[in-house]
């Protein structure tokens, strides 16, 4: 049985081919070449790598780590919540000067181990990291809390993010 959705999120599911015509590469090109420029052209967004973050939870965190590793001039901040794939540990070492916020729940022990390994590998490579470990499982409510923590750590001077309704 093939998890076709994972092909869009995991670089290693596509034999490490980040440039070919495969689901991972098409997904990456869509975000980096269409979504990011569209947002910056149509919304009041800053267009520097320091003001831009890529993030995700579960499989999405693996994709975010790959995006930041493959596009260091585009993404200066990474939010990786409940990192699912051990292959992401190697991508964490390639983040360069990006900042990495990683989080996981105590009740998802295998994923917690992978998330901690990602943070350790990134930190050993000189990446500035921050961790959040909650008493939770693999659930969106925990990711919402961790995302708020990540936003506050990555963008501490962003007052607009703290306004009601924002």
| Measured distance CA(25)–CA(4) in Å, rounded | 14
Instruction: Tell me the pLDDT tens digit for each residue of 57-113.
Output: 999 999 999 999 999 999 999 999 999 888 889 889 999 999 999 999 999 999 999
Instruction: Tell me the pLDDT tens digit for each residue of 3-22.
Output: 777 888 888 777 767 778 88
Burial of 21 (0-12, 13-18, 19+ CB in 10 A): exposed
The pTM assigned to this predicted structure is 0.90
Neighbour order of strands in the sheet with 53-57: 53-57, 77-81, 99-105, 128-134
């Amino acid at each position: 049985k093939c998890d076709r959705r994972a092909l869009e999120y995991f670089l290693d599911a596509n034999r490490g081919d980040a440039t070919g015509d495969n689901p991972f590469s098409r997904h990456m090109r869509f975000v980096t070449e269409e979504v990011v420029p569209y947002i910056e052209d149509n919304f009041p967004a800053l267009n520097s790598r320091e003001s831009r973050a890529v993030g995700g939870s579960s499989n999405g965190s693996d994709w975010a780590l790959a995006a930041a590793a493959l596009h260091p001039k585009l993404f200066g901040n990474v939010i990786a919540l409940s990192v699912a794939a051990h292959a992401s540990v190697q991508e964490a070492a390639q983040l360069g000067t990006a900042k990495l916020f990683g989080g996981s729940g105590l009740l998802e022990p295998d994923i917690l181990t992978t998330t901690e390994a990602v943070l350790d590998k990134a930190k050993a490579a000189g990446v500035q990291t921050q961790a959040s470990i909650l008493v939770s499982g693999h659930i969106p409510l925990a990711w919402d809390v961790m995302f708020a923590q990540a936003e506050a750590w990555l963008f501490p001077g962003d007052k607009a993010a703290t306004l009601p309704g924002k």
